[in-house]
Amino acid sequence: MKLNAEEQSMLDGEYGEPVKQAIEYQIRVGKYFNAKRFVPVTQAHITADIEVMGDLGLNFLKGLTNKAGKFTVPTTSNARCIEFDEGSTLGQKEEMIAKERKVIDTVKDLGAMTIDTCINYQVASQPHINEHIAWGDTGTVIYANSIFGSRTNFESGPAVISAALTGRVPEYGFHLEENRKGSIVFDVQAELNDLADWGILGRIIGAKVFDYNQVPVITNVATFNPDSDDLKHLGASMATWSLAMFHVVGVTPEAPTLEAATGGKELEVITITEEDMTNEYKSFEYTDPHAGVIVLSGPQLSLNEIAKVAKLLEGKKIAKGTTLIITTPASTYTQAEQSGFVNTIRQAGGIFLRGVCFYILDGLTDIRKKNQWSTLVTNSVKLANNVKAHRFIPVVRTTEDCIDIAVKGSLE
């Protein structure tokens, strides 16, 4: 890799040992992907929680602070695995709660803004088209590339920490123009009326493509006027199938037309029908109709999503023996509280978990067993795709159906 004068100085140790170690690591990554140079990044979004990092990761972060390491670009933190207010109630271990606090204190010392959210693009940062960034959560990466037209690869834990220290990333993958053009077209001939519908669409596309380097182009959905939440569920669902970018013709910035999205190439076209959507919903089979837990999470909920849930729950009560869980950033929770939405949902019996991701909650399998949860109902296809690892039986329904099920306590 060709280094400029500043990058050579980093490698020579003139910016301190943490930066030297970081750029050494990035050079190895760059060589692996045949990158020719580095590009500066304006911001980083790091995944730093004890569930993902473990003790080795925590010790690594402590080592950086012991050597006076500091992030050189604005850096935010992804969702945590510990709920500090509800953790003990959930059954999370005090030892892990204490370790998670150390992780947070350490990244703060490095200079991170601990916003603890997987929807940083809705609450903190909206990079512009062609802006090079370093984000480390799959759902944020696909949103940044697709909806903003900014440029990032999925950066692993060490890679994104390194980017935050050096303000650089190797130039490969989605930082390069030639890798951002569409490679397959999906012609949608189906109705999209709910967040779950967008997630189901993403699941169908993701399963058919299942290739990080491919960029699907979606046509015939601009008339549905997808908003930020629709698009985040679409992208988050596809991200669980390893996708990092997509185009929606007439909606996303690099796809004003089909020709622009594809670079003028003639590509394979796959049609998605209403029957395809219905069959995908049906693929979430269950044996126990009791709705032990309804989870609205993955990604965390925006203020608009919480407002909709509050409206659906107004004057109602969650069924006995059923738990409704909502995850959201702490800042969004405060806004929802000020707007009266939190009170409405809590009065109905709903629970809020702040700053966390449900499916990476530390001890989630034990939490499931403790509460005797089996069937998990959600409007998030991303969550449904991921919770099977904890032996949940996921069922995807529309947002309105999720609330109806929570009130009835049953899917039937």
| Structural tokens at position 279 | 């069959």
What pLDDT is attached to residue 86?
Answer: 83
Could you write out the DSSP letters of every residue in 150-185?
A: -B--B--HHHHHHHHHHSEEES-GGGSGGGSS--EE
Same domain, 43 and 91: yes
Tell me the C-alpha distance between 384 and 203, whole Å.
10
What letter does residue 299 receive in the DSSP assignment? Answer: S
Contact 248, 226 (CB under 8 A): yes
What pLDDT is attached to residue 345?
Answer: 98
How far is C-alpha 207 from the chain's CA centre?
A: 18
What letter does residue 287 receive in the DSSP assignment? Answer: S
Same domain, 168 and 186: no
Q: In what helix (H) or strand (E) does residue 271 lie, and over which residues does it extend? A: strand 269-273
Identify any residues that bridge with 394 across adjacent strands, giving them in sequence order. 376
DSSP-derived 3-state class of residue 138? helix
DSSP-derived 3-state class of residue 406? helix
Q: In what helix (H) or strand (E) does residue 189 lie, and over which residues does it extend? A: strand 184-189
Domain final residue pick, 261, 282, 303: 282
- Residue 89 inside a domain? The answer is yes
For residue 323, what are the contacts with CB-CB under 8 A and spacing of at least 6?
Answer: 292, 293, 294, 351, 371, 373
Q: How many helices (H) and strands (E) does the chain have?
A: 18, 14
- Residue 160 inside a domain? The answer is yes
What are the strands, taking DSSP E only, across 284-380? 293-296, 323-328, 351-354, 375-378
The CATH number of residue 263's host domain is: 3.30.70
Same domain, 214 and 271: yes
How far is C-alpha 270 from the chain's CA centre?
A: 26
DSSP-derived 3-state class of residue 240? coil
Identify any residues that bridge with 294 across adjacent strands, giving them in sequence order. 324, 377
Same domain, 234 and 107: no
Same domain, 242 and 117: no
Contact 198, 225 (CB under 8 A): no
- Residue 62 inside a domain? The answer is yes
Same domain, 53 and 163: yes
- Residue 288 inside a domain? The answer is no
Look at residues 293, 299, 78 and name the one whose alpha carbon lies nearest to residue 202: 299
Same domain, 168 and 120: yes
The CATH number of residue 146's host domain is: 3.30.499.10
What pLDDT is attached to residue 190?
Answer: 98
- Residue 395 inside a domain? The answer is yes
Q: In what helix (H) or strand (E) does residue 131 lie, and over which residues does it extend? A: none
Model pTM score: 0.97
Average pLDDT across each block of 10 residues of the chain; the chain has 412 residues. List them in order. 97 97 98 98 96 91 93 98 88 94 96 97 97 97 98 96 98 98 98 98 98 98 98 98 98 98 97 98 95 97 98 98 98 98 98 96 96 97 96 98 98 95
**Count: domains in the chain:** 3
Same domain, 268 and 297: no
Domain final residue pick, 231, 262, 282: 282
What pLDDT is attached to residue 27?
Answer: 98
Same domain, 126 and 254: no
What pLDDT is attached to residue 354?
Answer: 97
Report the chain's terminal Cα–Cα distance, integer Å.
Answer: 60
- Residue 143 inside a domain? The answer is yes
- Residue 373 inside a domain? The answer is yes
Same domain, 265 and 371: no
Contact 326, 301 (CB under 8 A): yes
Domain final residue pick, 160, 177, 194: 177
Contact 101, 65 (CB under 8 A): no
- Residue 275 inside a domain? The answer is yes
What pLDDT is attached to residue 88?
Answer: 80
Alpha helices, DSSP H only, in 12-137?
A: 17-32, 50-66, 87-90, 94-110, 120-123
Tell me the C-alpha distance between 229 and 206, whole Å.
18
Residue 214: give the domain boundaries.
181-282
Look at residues 225, 253, 296, 301 and name the one whose alpha carbon lies nearest to residue 126: 253
Same domain, 319 and 259: no
Tell me the C-alpha distance between 26 and 116, whole Å.
25
Look at residues 132, 146, 140, 92 and name the one whose alpha carbon lies nearest to residue 115: 140
Same domain, 252 and 345: no
Query: 303-328 burial, b if ≥16 CB within 10 A, otherwise e?
Result: bebbbbbbebbeeeebbeebbbbbbb
Could you write out the DSSP letters of every residue in 1-46?
A: -B--HHHHHHHTTTT-HHHHHHHHHHHHHHHHTT--BEEE-S-EEE
